[in-house]
Amino acid sequence: MALRSRPALVNIGNQENVANAKAKALGLGHTKRSALGEIGNKVNNLRGTRPMCKAGIQHDLPKKTTAKPATLESLKLTEKPHVELAKQLVRNEPSSPLVRPSIEQTPPPAHQQQTQQPDQVEKVSFSSDLLIEDIDQDDSGNPILVSIYSNDIYAHLRDLERQTPVEREFLTGQQVTPKMRSVLVDWLVEVHQQFHLTQETLYLTVAILDRFLQAYRSIDRKRLQLVGITAMFVASKYEEMYSPDINDFVYVTDNAYSKLEVLQMEMVMLRTLKYSFGRPLPLQFLRRYSKAGKALAVHHTMAKYFLEQGLINYDMCHYPPSLVAAAALYLSLFLIGSEEDAEEGKLVWTPTLVHYSTYKEEQVLPVVREIALYIINVEKSKHQAVRKKYTQSKHMKISLRSELKSPTMYDLATTKRQD
């Protein structure tokens, strides 16, 4: 059957190609669009490039075209209706120049006239005196990035994080302690590296783990590792194209649990969380903020280091993912600031970051101090998986940078202790 239908398909394709060729030759319509470009989100790699200004806005607006006035001498009309019309116009408005009536000279509708006024466009685009840069304007030509929906998508993600909160000190009254949770997450980071999974899988694993322990409060110490490995098993199914086999997860536990026990825990976990795994991740917000803040690769990588260290820290679980991402980027920009920024006195948390993150600097600073507090003590901690991970060259050896031991970090941590 497939061979019989092949000539028909070929003929249809040939007809479309012939139609497109004719349309191109005659200048009618558009031909088939070319293949899509690079799939992925574009992140600015340079800070402070092409700021938005009134001059740039006026340059992008369409220019008005005015018709040249015509005189009676230039209007040499031979037909009587046109001569009578010209005489009538002279009698009514003797001092105004005459313009030949045509369809092109008709005034545009009211809504089109408003779009041609530069001052009015600026008032609509910017509600305050501070200019907010449109970080999606360069992505308008790529349909894969759906730049016109970006703000709505992140607004929806903020609604989701409010619908799936993690309460403060959710382990109170349970057999599982914060130390036991930190040991488990530290081990899951190593398993994540061993399986070469995506970054989203690690964040989703910890999110599933915390939400499950918060809702299902009868987990004991013996089954805690089973919960952790099942959470990564579910997260890999959700995020990975090719998730590891269940036997691999049983193997990394040194056969402490059977395949049947993992499947049973998976069913309990799915029912407890009501099959809801759409809680947004800090990494998703960090990518958006890095684009808004024009962060360099070193800023983005250091912010990811702060986020992964925060996964182990029990005191950071209750913060919304969007707020944790904002605080991580704020601290990385503050620690690794260029000399030009210091000389010019640029702000760390710019109006563009305030606009796209929806957080003011006063809301971000308490979480920044919290991050600084556990980063300066990370070498004394028993949980070294994330720190060893970021000593590698592919992670720019972020955990070995001197800025993490600078007086600025100690000042931030001291301020937190005084509070």
**Average pLDDT over the chain, rounded to an integer:** 78
Helix (H, G, I), strand (E, B) or coil at 171: coil
pLDDT band at 233 (very low <50, low <70, confident <90, very high): very high
Residue 159, in any domain of the structure: no
Query: Residue 208: is its pLDDT beyond 90?
Result: yes
Look up residue 157 and give its two tokens.
């993600």
Specify the pLDDT at position 413. 85
| Single residue among 243, 272, 301 that ends a domain in this structure | 272
pLDDT bracket for residue 94 (50, 70, 90)? very low
**What's the structural domain count of the chain?**
2
Task: Look at residue 150 and tell me if it is in a domain.
Answer: no
pLDDT tens, position by position, 316-363: 999 999 999 999 999 999 999 754 464 455 689 999 999 999 999 999
The DSSP bridge partners found for residue 98 are 70
Supply 111's token pair: 């809504």
**Is 266 within 8 Å of 234 (Cβ atoms)?**
yes
The answer as to whether 367 is a domain residue is yes
- Determine how many CB atoms are found less than 10 A away from the CB of residue 59: 10
Question: 321: domain CATH number?
Answer: 1.10.472.10
Structure tokens at 28: 């009618």
Please indicate, yes or no, if residue 369 is contained in any of the structural domains.
yes
Q: Is residue 17 part of a domain?
A: no
Once rounded to an integer, what is the mean pLDDT over residues 119-133? Answer: 50
> CA-CA distance, 109 to 86, in Å (whole number)?
26
Q: At what angle do helices 321-335 and 282-292 cross, to 10 degrees?
A: 40
Report field, pTM of the whole predicted structure over 0.75: no
267 and 313 in a single domain? The answer is no
Residues 306 and 389 in one domain: yes
**Together in a domain, 305 and 335:** yes
Q: What is the CA radius of gyration of the chain?
A: 31
Please tell me the predicted confidence (pLDDT) of residue 109: 52
* Residue-number span of the structural domain to which 224 is assigned: 170-272
Tell me, yes or no, whether 267 and 302 share the same domain: no
For residues 231 and 77, the model is more confident at: 231
Q: Are residues 287 and 229 in the same domain?
A: no
Q: Residue 161: inside a domain, yes or no?
A: no
- C-beta neighbour count of 272 within 10 angstroms: 13
Distance of CA 262 to the CA centre of its chain: 34
Same domain, 287 and 390: yes
How many Å apart are CA 36 and CA 145, to the nearest integer? 11
Residues 89, 95: Cα–Cα separation, whole Å: 10
Task: Spell out the residues 6+ positions from residue 46 whose beta carbon is closer than 8 angstroms to its own.
Answer: 294, 296
Q: pLDDT tens, 234-283?
A: 999 999 999 999 999 999 999 999 999 999 999 999 999 999 999 999 99
Residue 243 shares a structural domain with residue 295: no
- With respect to residue 197, please indicate whether it lies within any of the assigned structural domains: yes
Rounded Cα–Cα distance for residues 7 and 200 (Å): 45
